[in-house]
Amino acid sequence: MQVKFPYSFDRKDTTISILDRFSTLEPASHTGTNVSVAGRVMLMRPQGKLAFARLVDSTGSIQLFATQDDSELFSEFSKLSIGDWIGASGEVITTRKGELSVRVQEWVLLAKTKRGFGDKWKGISDVDLKYRQRYVDLWANPESRSILQTRSKTIAFIRRYLDELDFVEVETPVLHPIAGGASAKPFVTRHNALDIELYLRIAPELYLKRLVVGGFEKVYEIARVFRNEGMSPRHNPEFTMLELYQAYSDYEDGIELIEDLISSLARELIGTTQISYQGRSLDLEPPWERKSMCELISKSLGEPIDLDVEYSHLLSLCKDKAIEVKDEWGPGKLILELYEKICESELWGPIIVTDFPQEVSPLARSHRSKVGFTERFELIIAGRELVNAFSELCDPVDQRDRFQAQAQLKETGDEEAMAVDEDYLRALEYGLPPTMGLGMGIDRLVMLIADVASIRQVIAFPTLRPEAI
RNA sequence: GCGCCUCUAGCUCAACGGCAGAGCAACGGACUCUUAAUCCGCAGGUUCUGGGUUCGAAUCCCAGGGGGCGCACCA
């Protein structure tokens, strides 16, 4: 006797395990092996006193074969809709045409669907609909589910990799009294009992370095961060960053670590370091090309560019490139703008761009030999900034000066400039050892590994304008 | 925020100034080996919304809304 909508179902077998065990049967075989499977009916082909259904679970799918002779509930079975959840048990067989199937002896309806799952062949492709009703997209378009599985594997790999290097995974506050650690506009929220405004974090950086001060020599956090900025195929208002900090190390160590992490990840998930992204090839085998920011600009412009070039000349170069210059910008900012305007879009990578001007790197340690620069690098892969890292600024006096320069920018209207964080300065006064810090956009990394063009594809529920229902 | 494109049945799409259609899904039926099964039948619409032009608008124009892409900002 069939019970509808039971509270549980004893699923003993996944579809993939059945496929693995019985992949080489002749047509019209009987195995004598009984299995019980559960999942969603995604195709139903009733044929008189026979019915064929495709049962899909999270591991794959298998055909269900039912006949009137075997099952007193045959007629109900043959009326199942696409999308219904069922549990079924019976013998593993192959049909006359050789299709591996479960010959249904017993089955139970676990949940009924009242809505359609889109076009049988094309699924759903309306981008808005896909993300508003992700639960439909994930069934109708198996590729969508596969991409999220790749995301899960990527993050699991990163954890395994860092754990093996004795990194400690930590969690730091999401609600910040001062939004620091990056240049970005924060979301503002409010704590009623404390009667204060709080900011959703734009980066975990300053808290992680406090932990290094506190004695954690290798820490990381896989951190959801929030930036109140425009959206695009490469930007979601909330996204996930990996940030890691390693004491006694500098940015050269960071380059080595990230080269090994990303190339190992590609080997593990794709099977090779020779990958392609959106039709263009990428060689992720280390070592990667390294160029300083000024080298890149100099090459593009065909003249030597450095911080000792006359300010007025940098200004005229910016003007030539239609860069809107603000009065308070110094030469370092002009150099960064030139790089971003004329070099960055030409880079495909992987390439390590090193030595950013100090003026635009308020948390990075001054370069040991290049005056006015910092020991900072960004990693460009597939034309996108994937990693930002540096030898951390440890000197509380220097850090206070940098914060104050940022605070001045904020006063002149730069909404993304940093504020002075007195507690962070106090932490530095207790002593931060030489430390390498590195941040990586996880969503963009997954885009690269899964070879997809839009960040929304790698986020289960990307931010959308609320629907008027 | 600005520019360009787009919105038609539950889904995927046609019709592009002259009766709003197809395939799939749904619904009813036939069928004992299907593979996007096939066949018969039936039903399904504020053509995103509002205004305008026109004898006549899904189609042209204006405004608004949703979405996409590009620019800007960033990871």
**pLDDT tens digits in sequence order for chain A, 469 residues long:** 456 889 999 999 999 999 999 988 999 999 999 999 999 999 999 999 999 999 999 999 999 999 998 777 898 999 999 999 999 999 999 999 999 999 999 999 999 998 888 888 888 999 889 998 999 999 988 899 999 999 999 999 999 999 999 999 999 999 999 888 888 888 999 999 999 999 999 999 999 999 999 999 999 999 999 998 888 889 999 999 999 999 999 999 999 999 999 999 999 999 999 999 988 899 999 999 999 999 999 998 889 999 999 999 999 898 888 888 888 889 999 999 999 888 888 889 899 999 999 999 999 999 999 999 999 999 999 988 999 999 999 999 999 999 999 988 888 878 788 889 999 999 999 999 999 999 999 999 999 999 999 999 999 999 888 776 5
Q: Which of A89, A111, A133 is the last residue of a domain?
A: A111
A88 and A156 share one domain = no
Q: Which nucleotide is nearest to A131 (CA to C1')?
A: B67
A331-338 and A293-301 helices, crossing angle to 10°: 60
User: What's the CATH code of the domain at A236?
Assistant: 3.30.930.10
Q: Please check whether residue A184 lies inside any domain of the structure.
A: no
Q: What is the DSSP string of A230-277?
A: --BTTB-SEEEEEEEEEET--HHHHHHHHHHHHHHHHHHHTS-SEEEE
CB A33 within 8 A of CB A139: no
CA–CA separation, A348 vs A388, rounded Å?
16
Q: Is A434 part of any domain?
A: yes
Domains held by chain A: number: 2
Do residues A97 and A154 both lie within one domain?
no
Q: Are residues A449 and A354 in the same domain?
A: yes
- List beta partners, residue A357: A373
User: Are A232 and A152 in the same domain?
Assistant: yes
Strands (E), A319-412: 351-354, 376-381, 384-391
Q: Which H or E element spans position A406?
A: helix A396-411
A455 touches strand B (CB under 7 A): yes
Angstrom distance (rounded) from CA A193 to CA A378: 41
Q: Is strand B within 7 Å of residue A466 (CB)? A: no
> pTM of the prediction?
0.93
A98 and A169 both lie in a single domain: no
CA–CA dist A268, A132 (Å, integer): 32
Q: Which of A72, A96, A111 is the last residue of a domain?
A: A111
Asked whether residue A383's C-beta has any atom of DNA/RNA strand B within 7 A, the reply is no
For residues A306 and A332, the answer to whether their CB atoms sit within 8 Å is no
Residue A278: inside a domain: yes
Which pLDDT tens digit goes with each residue over A126-160? 988 999 899 999 998 889 999 999 999 999 999 99
Nucleotide at minimal C1' distance from the A183 CA: B74
Longest dimension (CA), chain A: 91
Å separating the CA of residue A69 from the C1' of nucleotide B32: 10
Q: Tell me how far apart the alpha carbons of residues A266 and A243 are, in angstroms, rounded to a whole number.
A: 20
Q: Whose C1' is closest to the CA of A238: which nucleotide?
A: B75
The reply to whether A125 falls in a domain is: no
Query: How far is A336 from A361, CA to CA, in rounded Å?
Result: 10
**Cα gap A154→A157, rounded to integer Å:** 5
- Residues lying close to strand B (Cβ under 7 A), chosen from 280-319 of chain A, are none
Taking the stretch 126-185 of protein chain A, residues with Cβ within 7 Å of any atom in nucleic acid chain B are: 126-129, 131, 182-184
Q: What's the confidence (pLDDT) of residue A166?
A: 97
In-domain check, residue A97: yes
Together in a domain, A247 and A356:
yes
The identity of residue A247, as a single letter, is A
A368, A441: one domain = yes
Residue A410: predicted pLDDT: 84
A71 within a domain of the structure (yes/no): yes
Whole-number Å distance between alpha carbons of A108 and A385:
51
Q: Can you read off the two tokens belonging to residue A146?
A: 């596969």
Nearest to A355 by CA among A343, A369, A345, A344: A369
Look at residue A436 and give its three-state secondary structure: strand
Same domain, A238 and A151: yes
Among A56, A88, A111, give the residue marking a domain's end. A111
Domain that holds residue A354: 142-174+202-288+349-458
Asked whether residue A388's C-beta has any atom of DNA/RNA strand B within 7 A, the reply is yes
Same domain, A242 and A160: yes
Q: Return the SS3 of A343.
A: helix
Distance A371 CA to B37 C1' (A): 74
Burial of A276 (0-12, 13-18, 19+ CB in 10 A): exposed
- Using a 7 Å CB cutoff, list residues 257-286 of A near strand B: none
Judge whether A37 lies within some domain: yes
Report yes or no on A268 lying in a domain. yes
d(CA A350, CA A415): 31
Task: Please indicate, yes or no, whether residues A156 and A243 belong to a single structural domain of this protein.
Answer: yes
Residues A167, A73: one domain? no
The per-residue pLDDT for A1 is: 41
User: Does A217 contact strand B, using a CB cutoff of 7 Å?
Assistant: no
CATH number, residue A60:
2.40.50.140
Residues A215 and A66 occupy one common structural domain:
no
- Covered bases, chain B (protein CB within 7 Å): 1, 10-13, 23-28, 30-37, 65-75
